[in-house]
Amino acid sequence: MSPDQTPAAGQPDGARPRVFSGIQPSGDLHLGTYLGALRQWVEAQHERDNVFCVVDLHAITVPEDVDPAGLRAKSREVAALYFAAGIDPDDNVVFVQSHVREHAELTWLLNCTTPLGWLYRMTQFKSKSEGRESVSTGLLDYPVLQASDILLYDTDLVPVGEDQVQHIELTRDIATRFNHLFGETFRLPKAVVPKSGARVMGFDDPETKMSKSIARERDRHAVHLLDPESKIKKTIMSAVTDSEREVRFEHASAGVKNLLGILNATTGETYEQLADRFDGKGYGDLKKAVLEAVLETLAPIQARYQELASDPAELDAILARGADRARERAARTLERAQRALGVGA
């Protein structure tokens, strides 16, 4: 192995940290996805060497929910939203996971070194399998595919919302075990969680994390990035708070905390500034402020999205270029893992 292929020697001094992250095209992106993940990708994009993926193989783990024609369209929509949110296609690698076969192939190798018990312990698996009579092997194996995504690019940092931290820690464990068994092969990544917006809760139920799957069933659960203004208004103005009449900062209810958290994340105002502004005011005022801040955040994204959506051929060309660049890097790491195990041509 030449020195530049070893993960430990992978990053010369002063080089930008390597980043990988992804979002599933399993539903409409919402404010939680934006504040928890996408926004932090955009903010730090020029200081880092980024690979951003639309993880469509992760979106097929519940076959009952798969709509093949819809999935392809959704993958394009999610990619377009990356760019609409501000990701620069010239300075970042953006692609669709299934276009780079190395992800599935490395998953098999890692399956063989990952103890099954580690996967049964994952909170996301527990909650997604709860109440189902039967679940796919893929649903359990999902975090190994995620580990492959991350490890293929010798990733240093993985910017995600709070719910993904457990999967990134598992990725480190998977890499450490492989390195221990078969020699230094993978670089160990770290999760990066934003200071605000890492866990946006549902507007209709502030005890539960805003999620794409709940939003499919409940109209007032989430604000989606492409929702029209009237729908956003209805959702935010009907947000669940509590039976108090004024905004309280001490012992605030989950609903009020969520609204304040969204304001903090969208306007940058600190909790002290928000306390000055809202202490003693009614919930109507707070909701109006949240509505205004959310509309202001989403308007430029929606406008750019419309432009991108009007030229699907250009979007496909950008994604094909992204997949080519990703494949080149992924193939090198896969080969390293194959060599460590004694397989491959």
Binding site for ligand AMP (CB under 6 A): 23-24, 32-33, 35-37, 160-161, 163-164, 198-200, 209-210, 212
128, 190, 231, 234: the active-site residue: 128
Beta-carbon contacts of residue 133 (< 8 Å; ≥ 6 apart): none
Cα–Cα separations (whole angstroms), residue 88 to 52, 94, 123: 11, 9, 34
Q: Around Cβ 254, how many Cβ atoms within 10 Å?
A: 16
Shortest reach from residue 67's CB to ligand TRP, in Å: 18
Least distance from ligand AMP to the Cβ atom of residue 331, Å: 25
Active site residue 288: no
- Set 74, 190, 212, 233: catalytic member: 212
Nearer to ligand TRP, 166 or 302 (CB): 166
Query: Nearest Cα to 62, choosing from 145, 139, 125?
Result: 139
Report residue 80 as tokens.
């377009």
Partner in contact with 206, chosen from ligand AMP, ligand TRP, none, beta carbon below 5 to 8 Å by kind: none
Residues of the shown chain interacting with ligand TRP in the complex, contacts defined by CB under 6 A: 20-22, 24, 55, 58, 146, 149-150, 158, 160, 164, 167
149 contact choice in ligand AMP, ligand TRP, none (CB below 5 to 8 Å, kind-dependent): ligand TRP
CB of 282 to ligand AMP, least distance (A): 26
Give the separation between CA 228 and CA 343, rounded to whole angstroms: 52
- Tell me if residue 128 is catalytic: yes
Q: How many CA atoms lie within 13 A of 186 on its CB side?
A: 31
Taking the least distance from each CB to ligand TRP, the nearer of 164 and 297 is 164
Closer to ligand TRP by CB, 20 or 203: give it. Answer: 20
In terms of CB distance, is 150 or 308 closer to ligand TRP?
A: 150
Residue 158 contact among ligand TRP, ligand AMP, none, beta carbon within 5 to 8 Å by kind? ligand TRP
* Run of H or E including 22: strand 18-23
The item of ligand AMP, ligand TRP, none sharing an interface with residue 150, based on CB under 5 to 8 Å by kind, is: ligand TRP
Please tell me the distance from the alpha carbon of residue 294 to that of residue 307, in angstroms, as a whole number: 21
Between CA 142 and CA 60 the distance in angstroms is: 10
Among 209, 231, 233, 257, the one annotated catalytic: 209
Q: Which does 199 bind (CB under 5 to 8 A by kind): ligand TRP, ligand AMP, none?
A: ligand AMP
- What is the CB neighbour count within 10 angstroms for residue 207? 11
Nearer to ligand AMP by C-beta: 33 or 98? Answer: 33
Cα-based distances in Å from 200 to 205, 220, 226, 273, 341? 11, 14, 17, 20, 42
Residue 212 bears catalytic tag: yes
Q: Which does 192 bind (CB under 5 to 8 A by kind): ligand TRP, ligand AMP, none?
A: none
Rounded least distance, CB 298 to ligand AMP, Å: 16
Q: Which residue is nearest to ligand AMP (CB)?
A: 36
Residues 222 and 238: their CA atoms lie apart, in Å, by 11
Contact 255, 243 (CB under 8 A): no
- CB of 199 vs ligand AMP, minimal distance in Å: 5
CB environment 126-140: b (16+ within 10 A), e (fewer): eebbeeeeeeeebbb
Question: Minimum distance from CB of 245 to ligand TRP (Å)?
Answer: 37
Contact criterion met (CB below 8 Å) for 30 and 215:
yes
What residues are labeled active site? 128, 209, 212
